[in-house]
Amino acid sequence: MKTENLAIRRSIMANNAEKILYLDQNAASCGDGTKEAPFSCLPCAFSKAKELLREANLPTHVIIDIAEGDYRIGETLTLTGEDMPISGSHLTLQANGCVTVSSLEDIPAKAFTSTGAPIHTATLLNADGTPRRFRYLYTNGRLATLALSGAPKVEEGATRQRFERDFDAKGREGANVKAECKMYLDRRLLAPLIGDKTDGILPVTDAELHTVAEWDYNIIHITAIDLDDTAVYEVKNPDDAWFIFKNEGVVAPEEHVAVYLKPDEYARFAFPGGFPFRGRHYFLQNALAFVDSENEYYRDGKSGVLSYYTEGDITQTCFAIPRLARLFSLEKIDGVTFDGLTFTGTDDYKLSEFGATCGQASCDGRFHDYPNAAAIYGHDCKHLTVKNCTFRDLGCEGISLRGRVEDLTVKDCTFRRIPSSAIRVGAPTNRWDETAGNLRVTVENNDIDEVATVYYTSPAICMASTKDALLSHNTITNCSYSGFSVGWHWDATTVPRGERVNIDNVEISDNYVASFCTEMCDGGGIYVLGGNAPNDYPELFNFVKRNCVVYTKNTANGNGNLVCGIYFDGSSSNWHALDNVIVEQSLGAHEKDKELDTLPARYVARMQARRSGSYYCYTQHHGTIAPDHNVLWENTYLLNARGQNKEEELFEAFHGYLCDDRNCTERNTVFVHGWESVPEVAKNVIASAGCDGRKCSLDELKENRY
């Protein structure tokens, strides 16, 4: 279907009137866009392109040919359907050389004064004297480090449920915290904020509490510390403290100190039914007291003072701050291509002002929209192509598309150091919605590394309800949560196939995913969910095949809970998983037997089984809702690199997750023990998986390349 649709589109474009606008930042003056007199600024060229598209009386293809250079913009470049009134028109922005687009504004090193090395300060104000609004600082073109507290701590005793709260009749939507929005945190983590104070209430500015729980992540502002209100927590019920093994170097009991939290943010965090805080790790960020390491910084939101730490020569550092949360904003467009551009230098200043409540995939319909700052943001987009582009050092997401997305292609792109998802397509809905479904999507041959570095709950590639999609030959490494997340909702489908699409004719193939779920749990290298057809519909029309998923030492480093190579969550149906390879190099936190010794007895068997591979592939029940009509793990190779031979035990545990699933079939699961035993077919899958520029071989896996 997509091939036919694109052929029609290409035919239309071939017959379009073509107009080329030239852009060169080194031009002597801003000309009229001709080759002889090019524009010198991107907004001028973009504005002219919109004018040509609006005034066209027949389908027109406008091309902005951009000469090599660093193009910085101060306003988001916006394109809407009203700018493209003629069906079949198209806008292309193409790079002719190395082209970078950002919203960065340079801050001269001379703006900083030393407060006594190594901390230097600069006051950044608007013309009206108000503080500059930004969260991120760029040094030498890369994101600097927003000041952090010490290593994440594990909270042994405190729970959200212990705090007195009173919610109104609307429950989670109308939460009204009656208590003092108070929690108790480890004194050692608070020590830099407390300093030499011994009593009283200490006001706090800007500091953030970051909490991790299962697939739930929160950023909440601390307003004060009450040094007169302390508590000592002990683990009274070991069976309820099974995460304590992560608490390396921390001895319980330990004194905790009360902190007050911003009321509206605390209300979101402490909603009824929320995850207990017990056993979850947390850390603090964004305070002057934490500025103690090279390239760390803090911005005072009230005074506008920027503090930066360096022991080197500050004049050798190039400073810049971003001015925009989005570089491009597309609304109801039909026909746009980005080709060969590099995007960097965006911000997410709302995070510093309002915090965040993030559920699975950084979505949380209870309280707020999803992360919506991005280099390319779109809503209701058709025929959008992003190819040969680089997205690096951004404030939030790379490509973020909401509403209905049709005929999207993202291919041959590179993503590096992305705080949220590299690619997000569609907003999750609990029921099929004609305004929010995705049709004909290709995400192919992309290279993604260091993603979800701030929004830990963001998958590298996130796609909701979708019909006709190919996700193929992508390499994903170092992701805080799942590599892929496709589909939504946990209910079985009762309507005929295609009437309300969740996932229909989707193929996830030939991808390489390694070092995933480095901060979160209950996810996978490849994760899918949601019912796709009624129970009596047996056809297999979705595919997970020839993928290589690798557990590395960083996988499951977050909460130590369930992490799967390939994960079919509740109600996932009509999938055929075949010819996949799942490799355990090492499982980080679970490698040492001494760590298992600290676990309560009822979890030891579960964790020991997992260490040897039983959670590589997983199907999840939610009550009576189980995956339907799947052929799972056909010709699937589970490689235990350390050579542990527990095939009988493994198979029993592994097969147990399938035996109760309705109409699910397991065929030819092969357990491989040690590198020397890998069959040729599995070697071929490993070698062919991933993008062109970053594939992996068996030899490279042995060397722990990723």
Q: Tens digit of pLDDT for each residue in 154-172?
A: 654 444 333 333 333 333 3
Partners of 544 in the β-ladder? 508, 577
The CA-to-CA distance between both ends of the chain, in Å, stands at 37
Is the Cβ–Cβ distance between 690 and 472 less than 8 Å? Answer: no
Q: Please work out, in degrees rounded to the nearest 5, the angle formed at the alpha carbon of residue 468 by the alpha carbons of 462 and 473.
A: 60
Compute the C-alpha angle 14/20/25, nearest 5°.
145
pLDDT tens-digit series, residues 421-453: 999 998 777 777 778 889 999 999 999 999 999
User: In the block, which residue shows the tokens 């595919």?
Assistant: 543
SS3 606: helix
The answer to whether the beta carbons of residues 342 and 336 sit under 8 Å apart is: no
Q: Are strands 414-418 and 447-451 parallel, antiparallel or unpaired?
A: parallel
Nearest by Cα to 451 from 430, 474, 479: 479
Angstrom distance (rounded) from CA 171 to CA 6: 48
Give me the residues of the chain with pLDDT under 50, please.
1, 156-179, 235-252, 272-274, 365-368, 558-560, 586-615, 621-625, 642-661, 706
**658/416 Cα distance (integer angstroms):** 37
- Tell me the C-alpha distance between 400 and 172, whole Å: 27
Closest listed residue to residue 480, CA positions, set 426, 425, 559: 559
Give every CB contact of residue 400 below 8 A, 6+ residues apart in sequence.
371, 372, 373, 374, 376, 377, 378, 420, 421, 424
What is the reported pLDDT for 542?
94
Least Cα distance to 146 among 135, 130, 157 occurs for 135
Contacts of 438 (CB under 8 A, 6+ apart): 404, 405, 406, 408, 425, 426, 463, 464, 465, 466, 467, 469
Closest CA to 467 of 375, 558, 404: 404
Tokens of 246: 């992560």
Give the per-residue pLDDT at 275: 55
CA distance 280 to 18: 58
The rounded distance, in Å, linking the Cα atoms of 316 and 34 is 39
| Three-state secondary structure call for residue 318 | coil
- Which pLDDT does position 564 carry in this prediction? 79
Structural element, H or E, at residue 352: helix 349-354
pLDDT value, residue 143: 97
Crossing angle for the helix pair 647-659 and 601-611, nearest 10 degrees?
A: 100
Tokens of 516: 């995933």
Residue among 292, 255, 253, 309 nearest 149 (CA): 292
Query: What is the pLDDT, as a whole number, of residue 269?
Result: 72
What does the alpha-carbon distance between residue 706 and residue 686 come to, in Å, rounded to a whole number? 13
Longest CA span, the chain: 79
Q: Which residues contact 575 (CB under 8 A, 6 or more apart)?
A: 528, 532, 540, 542, 543, 544, 568, 627, 630, 631, 632
**Rounded CA separation 366/368 (Å):** 6
**C-alpha distances out from residue 151 to 118, 123, 210, 213, Å:** 22, 30, 12, 16
At 238 the pLDDT is 44
Q: From CA 297, how far away is CA 293, in angstroms rounded?
A: 9
Beta bridge partners of 208: 221, 285
Predicted pLDDT at 178: 42
Distances from the Cα of 174 to the Cαs of 89, 358, 383, 604, in angstroms?
46, 18, 40, 41
Exposed, middle or buried: residue 502 (CB in 10 Å: 0-12, 13-18, 19+)? buried
pLDDT the model gives residue 494? 85
- Residue 587's pLDDT is 41
pLDDT of residue 663: 65
- Residue in the block written with tokens 């250079």: 69
Beta bridge partners of 485: 462, 527
